[in-house]
Amino acid sequence: MPTLIDGHGRVIDYLRVSVTDRCDLRCTYCLPKAFKGFEEPANWLTHPEMARLVGRFVAMGVRKVRLTGGEPLLRRGVCDLAASLRAMPGLQDLSVSTNATRLSSMAVPLRQAGVDRLNISLDSLDESCMARITGRDCLGEVLEGIAAASAAGFRPIKLNMVVQAGVNDHEIEAMVTFARQHGLVLRLIEPMPVGATGRSAEGRDLTALGEMLARRMGLLPQVLGQGAGPARYWREPHSGMSLGVITPMSQHFCEACNRVRLGVDGTLYLCLGQNDQMPLGRLLRAGADDGELDAAILAALARKPLRHEFNERPEKIVRFMAQTGG
């Protein structure tokens, strides 16, 4: 079985694919309200082009693919793309990250296309707080989307809550209760200084908070299976509810990094917190054959950085999160 290994000996088996940098929300830690600097649609890879690039990664050892954005459900034909990826020999796990505003009508088509898992952004259960964070009154749509995903048979469904001090950190226990009631996995995430919006978001030390919550709630350490990623998890023995924390700021997990990201234009981003990249989309459109694409991927992985510098150089990454892919 082929294996992709970076210059630091890490196996790279996970690819995140941004199908659009557009989003129908303006979360305060992600995109400025008046942001207009989106990629021109002419530069977006078509679905066949994106499938060809993803296929090279899968042929070389990638086993997990996540479709992201921006908001991936805004991209027309995303279910067709998902189905074409799902059919690739060797791909073991196909997932989607979504804000769920369109999920109520798309949960069943995504499931039929072969998507295995969903990650859903939900930062608050309070309508006014959710509107302040996202720039829209969207809580009802998101909750409908979660219910539709559960009814469509998605398991597990992971809720991603970006915890901001003084904004929504008082809602963590309410979110835990919600996850317990609906059989969901809750993941608390520290905001990252990606772009000016990311730098303006004040986070909490979730390493300490997660351990405190686990002790207080009687949660037991848990190792999740496929797709667990960088989160550390605890499980409630009686309900089965899982709580995870993702801590890029207070306790980074770079030594175990197994992923790279493709932007909507086919740019390969090697690290969220560094500027190293490879223009695979440009090479593809210039007529590169599979061997040339494979060589470019290997050359890029050889220089994948050892770790981010979010704490040492928070000003380094000026692109916004939606431009890289979540």
Q: Is residue 257 part of a domain?
A: yes
Kindly state the average pLDDT of the residues 118-146.
Answer: 97
Q: Is residue 315 part of a domain?
A: yes
Give the structural domain span for 66. 14-324
Q: Is residue 125 part of a domain?
A: yes
The domain total for the chain is: 1
Residue 35's pLDDT band, with cuts at 50, 70 and 90, is confident
Task: Inform me whether the pLDDT recorded for 23 exceeds 80.
Answer: yes
Task: Inform me whether the pLDDT recorded for 201 exceeds 70.
Answer: no
Report pLDDT for 11.
94
Residue 227's pLDDT band, with cuts at 50, 70 and 90, is very low
Task: Inform me whether the pLDDT recorded for 313 exceeds 90.
Answer: no
Gap between the terminal Cα atoms of the chain: 28
Residue for token pair 């969207």 = 138
Q: Is residue 1 part of a domain?
A: no
Report pLDDT for 214.
86
Q: What is the pTM of this model?
A: 0.90
Q: Position 97: which residue type?
A: S
Question: What are the contacts of 306-312 at 24+ separation with CB within 8 A?
Answer: 306/8, 306/254, 307/252, 307/254, 307/255, 307/257, 307/271, 307/273, 308/248, 308/252, 308/254, 308/271, 308/272, 308/273, 308/274, 309/273, 309/274, 310/192, 310/193, 310/248, 310/249, 310/252, 310/273, 311/249
DSSP letters for 161-176: EE-BTTTTGGGHHHHH
- Cα distance between residue 31 and residue 133, in whole Å: 11
Q: Is residue 8 part of a domain?
A: no
Q: Is residue 5 part of a domain?
A: no
CATH number at residue 78: 3.20.20.70
Q: Is residue 110 part of a domain?
A: yes
Task: Inform me whether the pLDDT recorded for 261 exceeds 70.
Answer: yes
